[in-house]
């Protein structure tokens, strides 16, 4: 069965267009509620959101959907995606929902679902929910309609949980940290957690107004963070995205540190203490060849999956790994969270900085990345990658890079984009290959 609603990370789209409407959200609540109404206990769903204006609309619609099929609803207000995963499990809920479009602009929104174990849903669960979306819902009797309530202590529960991810004796006294929350879901909890551990916190992106999420701030727009780190003479800067499940770091020199370097750091420290499971790290096809070479030099493996943290997590669970992630900053540390958690990853990095007693520029740059270039080509319809001319250019590029680099070309799962990435030891060759492919895709599109 083909997917109609779900992409690589839930349901996502432009607000009030396509499937991203209040009507669809209500139907998702009814379908997901029906799918998880198992057993004779009182059923419960936890719903969180980021700070988008449309979050109010989507939240209300989801509440209507879930309660109409007899499921009780607990609303947390703005909280990071990993907090909803955590609370779903801790509250013995049957389902968790996060309303967010992650790093996308405020005009977009999305719906992410978590099962009772706090993990994102399997493909099978999503397909079964899709099938229910096409049917008339079975509404609850009047005396069985669900109830809804808000809880006030959700933020405190999450702050307490993330602080447990580092050793009890670790304090961050003496560190000056710039924290960019992208005007998103973590605008209260992450600065508070870091401050409670003793650091001096300079907060950016902590004044959400419904329309400024990810606007010139956050993990996909780090110029403001880089400038502030330099201006304040800070030891380090951390940037989260809109729902705080990814992390990008800036060292004291203003240099960006991506997810590959962070995985190298955390995996190395875990391996040194015997805490690393699976003998290596799980990452996607987008991770730099330099990471793979670095890990191999330490006797560790890098297992690659297709793009999407759900696929990373799936392989981690299959192979018994406890660290995985994406170059873009999703960091999954299974000892502490069931999904990517930017705050947990940030605390691990800050703890390493304290333990090493060296500047971030030394601690966080463990390998030299192989020249890598990624470009996006936007298209309005059709399937540019199916064009014969594009296939030929790609085949020629693969032959040219054979043994000297890698080529990864894919359609985005969340936007109408073709992503073209190449890497190799020759930067000029990499750029030429990417430009040729992009030109072919653009012509076909």
Which sequence positions are flagged as catalytic?
Answer: 102
Neighbours of 42 (CB within 10 A): 12
Which of helix, strand or coil describes residue 379?
coil
Report CA-CA distances (Å) from 255 to 248, 249, 391, 432: 11, 8, 37, 26
Element of type H or E holding 302: strand 301-305
Taking the C-alpha atoms of residue 384 and residue 45, their distance in angstroms, rounded to an integer, is 40
Cα gap 145→280, rounded to integer Å: 48
β-pair partners for 324: 282, 332
| β-sheet bridge partners, residue 408 | 421
**Cα separation, 360 vs 358, whole angstroms:** 7
The shares of helix, strand and coil residues in the chain, as percent rounded to the nearest 5, are 40, 20, 40
Conformation bin of residue 323: beta by default, left when phi > 0, alpha when psi is -120 to 50 = beta
CA–CA distance, 361 with 390 (Å, rounded to integer) = 41
Rounded to whole angstroms, how far apart are CA atoms 407 and 397?
Answer: 8
Do strands 108-114 and 11-14 pair parallel, antiparallel, or not at all (unpaired)? antiparallel
SS3 category, 321: coil
| 378 SS3 class | strand
b/e for 292-329, b at 16 or more Cβ within 10 A? Answer: bebbeeeebebbbbebbbbbbbbbbeeeebbbbbbbbb
Helix spans in 138-188 (H): 154-163
CA-based nearest residue to 401, from 423, 370, 378: 423
CA nearest neighbour of 35 among 151, 168, 148, 131: 131
Distance CA 215, CA 296 (A): 38
User: How far apart are the C-alpha atoms of 232 and 66, rounded to whole Å?
Assistant: 47
- Burial class (CB within 10 angstroms; exposed 0-12, middle 13-18, buried 19+) of 173: exposed
Q: How far apart are CA 226 and CA 234, in angstroms?
A: 10
Maximum alpha-carbon separation in the chain: 69
């Amino acid at each position: 069965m083909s997917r109609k609603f779900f992409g690589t990370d839930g349901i996502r789209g432009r607000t009030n267009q396509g499937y991203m409407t209040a009507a669809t959200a209500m139907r998702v609540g009814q379908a997901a509620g029906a799918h998880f109404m198992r057993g004779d206990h009182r059923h419960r769903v936890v719903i969180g959101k980021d700070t988008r204006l449309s979050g109010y609309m989507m939240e209300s619609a989801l509440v209507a959907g879930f309660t109409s099929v007899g499921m009780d609803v607990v609303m947390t207000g703005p909280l990071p995606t990993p907090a909803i995963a955590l609370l779903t499990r801790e509250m013995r809920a049957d389902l968790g929902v996060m309303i967010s479009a992650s790093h996308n602009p405020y005009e977009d929104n999305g719906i992410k679902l978590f099962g009772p174990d706090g993990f994102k849903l399997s493909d099978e669960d999503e397909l079964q929910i899709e099938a229910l979306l096409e049917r008339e819902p079975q509404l609850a009797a009047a005396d069985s309609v669900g109830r809804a309530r808000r809880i006030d202590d959700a933020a405190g529960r999450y702050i307490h949980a993330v602080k447990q991810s580092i050793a009890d004796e670790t304090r961050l006294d003496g560190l000056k940290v710039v924290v960019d929350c992208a005007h998103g879901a973590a605008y209260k909890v992450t600065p508070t957690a870091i401050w409670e551990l003793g650091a001096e916190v300079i907060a950016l992106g902590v004044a959400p107004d419904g329309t400024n999420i990810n606007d010139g701030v956050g993990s996909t727009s780090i110029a403001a963070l880089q400038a502030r780190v330099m201006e304040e003479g800070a030891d380090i800067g951390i940037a989260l995205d809109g729902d705080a499940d990814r992390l990008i770091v800036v060292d004291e020199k203003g240099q960006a540190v991506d997810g590959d370097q962070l995985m190298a750091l955390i995996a190395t420290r875990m391996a040194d203490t015997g805490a690393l499971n699976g003998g290596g790290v799980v990452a996607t096809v987008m991770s730099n060849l330099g990471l793979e070479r670095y890990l191999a030099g330490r006797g560790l493996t890098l297992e690659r999956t297709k793009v999407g943290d759900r696929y990373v997590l799936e392989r981690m669970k299959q192979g018994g790994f406890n660290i995985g992630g994406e170059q873009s900053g999703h960091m999954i540390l299974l000892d502490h969270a069931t999904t990517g958690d930017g705050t947990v990853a940030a605390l691990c990095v800050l703890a390493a900085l304290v333990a090493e007693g060296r500047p971030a520029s030394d601690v966080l740059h463990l390998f030299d990345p192989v020249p890598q270039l990624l470009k996006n080509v936007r298209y309005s319809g059709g399937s540019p990658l199916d064009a014969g001319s594009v296939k030929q250019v790609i085949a020629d590029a693969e032959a040219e890079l054979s043994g000297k680099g890698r080529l990864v070309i894919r359609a985005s799962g969340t936007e109408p984009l073709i992503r073209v990435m190449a890497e190799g030891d020759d930067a000029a060759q990499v750029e030429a290959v990417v430009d040729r492919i992009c030109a072919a895709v653009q012509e076909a599109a």
